[in-house]
Amino acid sequence: MLKNCILCEKMKLRRSPMWIAFVLFPVVPAALGTGNYLNNLALLKSEWFSLWTQETLFYSNFFFAPLIAVYCGYLWRIENRNRNRHLLMTMPVPVRDIFLGKLASIAKITLFTQIWVFVLFVLTGRMVSLSGMPPTVILLYAVRGTFGGLAVAALQLMLSMMIRSFATPIAIAVFGAVTGLLASNSRYAVCYPYSLMMVGMNANRSEDILQGNTLPFFISCAVWLALFCAMSVYYLKHTDVRA
C-alpha cells in the first residue's frame, strides 16, 4: 500500500510548478556565494573549500528550509483544495502510508535538490577557474546535509498538514533557519532540527564542525525524523477532517 501511495504522489508532482522553485532557488545562493568568494580572494585561500563556505553560507542558512517548506506546502495544498482531503482520508489506505508516501516524495526531491546544489557548486568553481574537481570530503558534507534535511522535511510536512495556510509554514521555516543559524554556533547544534542541515553541510566553516561528533549527528537526525513521523501519524489518526 505504501508503494501505491508513493506512486500516487509521484503522479501529482508531474508538471508541477514546484519544479520551478527546485531549479531557481539554489541558483540564487550559488550566485551570491560565488560573488562573495570573488570579492574576498585576498582572504579566501582554500579554493574549493573557500567557495563551499561561501555558497553554503547562503544556501544552508537562508534558502534550504524555506525551499523544503515550499515543497511540503505544495503537496498538502493539493489535498486541501476542493475537499480532496475528505477523499484522501476515506480511502482504504492506512494513514501511516499516506504520510510516509508524501515524506518519501519529499525525501527524493530533497536528494535531487542536494545533487543540483552540488552541480552548481562544481559549475561555479569551474567558472572562477578553480583547478581540478572538489575534494571528496565536500561531497560527504553534501550527503550529510541531505540526512539533516530529512528532519526538516518531516517537520515541515507535519506543519503543512496541520496548518491549512500555504504561507505560514514557510514563514516558520524562515524563522527556523534564522534560529538554526544561531544554534549552529553552539555546542547544542545537533539537538535542534533546523541546525542539522547546516552542521551537516559544514556551512561557512573551514574545519569540519562534526569532527568527532558524526555519530551524535546521525542519531539526532534519526530521532527527530522518527518523532515528527510519529506525531504526524497520530495527528492524522485522531483529528477529524475539516471542510
- What local confidence, expressed as pLDDT, does residue 243 receive? 46
Average pLDDT, the chain: 87
Contact 210, 202 (CB under 8 A): yes
Contact 80, 164 (CB under 8 A): yes
Flag whether the pTM goes above 0.95.
Answer: no
Average pLDDT, integer, range 138-163: 93
> Cα–Cα distance between 189 and 186 in angstroms, integer?
6
pLDDT of 237 strictly over 80: yes
The DSSP output letter for 94 is -
Which cell goes with 145?
Answer: 546535509
pLDDT of 240 strictly over 60: no
- In this predicted structure, which of 10-19, 61-70, 127-136, 217-226 has the lowest mean pLDDT? 10-19
The DSSP output letter for 133 is -
pLDDT of 197 strictly over 70: yes
Contact 157, 49 (CB under 8 A): no
**R_g of the chain computed on alpha carbons:** 19
Which cell goes with 154?
Answer: 518531516
Contact 29, 62 (CB under 8 A): yes
Average pLDDT, integer, range 27-54: 90
When pLDDT is cut at 50, 70 and 90, the band that residue 166 belongs to is: confident
- What local confidence, expressed as pLDDT, does residue 90 receive? 67
Average pLDDT, integer, range 88-116: 86
Average pLDDT, integer, range 133-146: 92
> Cα–Cα distance between 72 and 53 in angstroms, integer?
27
**Residue, of 86 and 16, whose pLDDT is higher:** 16
Instruction: Give the amino acid at 6.
Output: I
